[in-house]
Structure 1
Amino acid sequence: MDFHHSDKVKNLQQRVAAFMDEYVYPAEDVFAQQMDAARKAGNAWQPAPVMETLKERARAAGLWNLFLPESQYGAGLTNLEYAPLCEIMGRSPLGAEPFNCSAPDTGNMETLVRYATPEQQKQWLVPLLEGKIRSGFAMTEPEVASSDATNIQSRIERDGDEYVINGHKWWTSGANDPRCKILIFMGKTDPGHANRHQQQSMILVPMDTPGVKVVRHLPVFGYDDAPHGHAEVLFENVRVPVSNILLGEGRGFEIAQGRLGPGRIHHCMRLIGVAERALEAMCRRSLKRVAFGRRLAEQGVTRERIANARIMIDQARFLVLNAAHKMDTVGNKDARQEIAMIKVVAPNMACQVIDWAMQVHGGGGVSEDFGLARAYANARTLRFADGPDEVHRNAIAKMELGRYLEQE
């Protein structure tokens, strides 16, 4: 495939990079200060004013909803065209939110575009596209090994014109955020179905529905990730209209596969940006610091790590671009091996590059002074999000072995 970007994409790259330079990077310290002030005031779970300002500026600049391929919404970019833009956004801990391109909203908007009714889209997709609300995805459960999603125990039971929902979820990203108004909930409508992949359904659950209770926020390596964060949520006899079901009963796995493919590749794109910034920090630091009479950049071990970091980042980028190209040309289903491969490679690559950068920074690397500790916490978490490494490796191996089984 041709890895050269079109003039349209090059123009967007320049515009996004310029916006990051002028507004996003300078806002990082402001955002941190505003969130620290909110914590001291006793409530970190409120939007930072600087983020809302960034969103207004990005929207005014036409840098808004750049994802959503094959849709009348967004910028009309393919996955391959969006990849380099997502990488640039990923360079900042403020992420893609200024551009309304952050998880889990992107995945939920993809889901609503593909599977929601016109009424559901009007009620929830439109305000999400406008950045007026945020959303969450309630799938993982604490009582079962959620790496096997067929283990899900939450129930969605029909009672006349309503569904009654009972379940216990955690790592529901964004449920702490007061802007989060809607959850996409996965549970079992038919636990006795012979096909274990047709037992589950997805349903829309407004956050203000009686019986929805946020139990606590879940820090990651001590970071609360406010105001977005991750939450443990209880659903106790939650009643929603039958019209809130997505696509129909038993279609949960089908929706999940359609939703998680783009979500996985977006995570990987952003991780490349994270790793690039970590490598830049490693190079700059190594040129400034002197140990044992020589700059760190002149030490053989540092040079080896810098070289390996460059190799690993470029390898991951090419794999991601290849996966994006295949998603665009043959669809997410036929690109599932390539998607699984990048989901293993990108987080592991980012963790290693960030770790090397932390070593060059010495004790400062594990402090909050350079942002590397937070970047590592995020990258390490993404070895679980959207499926752990082990599940993806197993899927890759099964598909690879399948080619030989067909020959027997």
Structure 2
Amino acid sequence: MEITPGAIGFGVIATALVLFMTPGLAFFYGGLVRSKSVISMMMMSFGSMGLVAVLWILYGYNMSAVETPWGFAGNPFSDFGLSSLASSATANVDLVGVGFGATFAIITIALISGAIADRAKFWSWMVFAGVFATLGYFPIASWVWGGGWIMNLGETLNLPEVIDYAGGTAVHINAGAAALALALVLGKRVGFAKGSHKPHNVPFVMLGAAILWFGWFGFNVGAEWLNGLGGAGLIAVNTLGATAAAIVGWVVVEKFKSGKATSVGAASGAVAGLVAITPACANLSPGWALLLGVISGALCAVAIELKYKLGFDDSLDVVGIHLVAGMLGTLYLGLFAIDTGLFTGGDFGQMVVQFIAAIVVLVYAFVLAYVIGQLIEKTIGFRVTDEDELAGVDKIVHGEEAYDYEFDFEREKEKVGV
């Protein structure tokens, strides 16, 4: 199919939208942490933007497609630095695809950082980000979208093909499972208990969620630039509807739990809905997308409490939102995917392939992240000391403070000539 200049332009816009999601995530996460660790939190997102984009261009894109369905990943050195691709006859289209893919890799890694807020060393995080992107995200992307075993699982089992339009497995289950592993490696924050760590800047949280929702249209609709934009309308409506419904689902649960609907809850509900609709946005009718949104918002509002009962400190609920909603959206397709879901014209086949893909990615990402995290912790150290955590990660790790609370009265008098 010929790619028109308009489609290429839309691909560039979608790439920018998805890239903008990571600063949005930085605001969302940054607002949720203490004022003494907001820089650290936001730097982990920006660190992901810097490092992962470089690795993707050098060799990650090469790894994201396999020659045989059962290959682990593509050859990272097949076109190191993309010099051959950049000089090919189709470079103009291909390089937009490279950029678009890079933004997915960036935000997947950045998402993981929310589980270790307030207590992680920046350079240890950067080592983890580079290794996990190389051994985790790049290969899984090849399994899901690059001709790998997940992409071919339906044909192998003589069942419907796995549906993961925009990253239920490759992005959200992957990141959520890795987040759980790192939360276990780094352990609990000092004084970890329900209600002990409150958001320091709620407007940041709301702003971040709004940017994420805005950018998510590039995330979900973006891939359609290669498909003639034939499904753009359905994808856009489902991205809007499921997210809106998830806000309602979350705040209703909050009302029953505490009697109050909170702004942080509404923002978190929006993210839960965005996560759940990601794999399903092109394969649900709008009514079923609304139902998915309501369920995801309500379920995640309950799931975030599990860390207190199970005793792991997932600081910003990456597990409770991204892993839970990612699993929900992936498996929901087994029931309601257009033509192939159990209740929409199909049988159990769609559920079988969705379940296999989700579980294998979950287990692989968890084990890999746990091993990498333990190696870092045992060598260069991953967690700051308790004393540094209490003093504030921003000052200790980055030598900066987000807010200047000092007021020099004499200096201010000199400024105004008093």
TM-score (norm 1): 0.28
Comparing both structures, which one devotes a greater share of its residues to strand? 1
Comparing both structures, which one devotes a greater share of its residues to helix? 2
Q: State the structure with bigger RCO (CA 8 A, min sep 6), 1 or 2.
A: 2
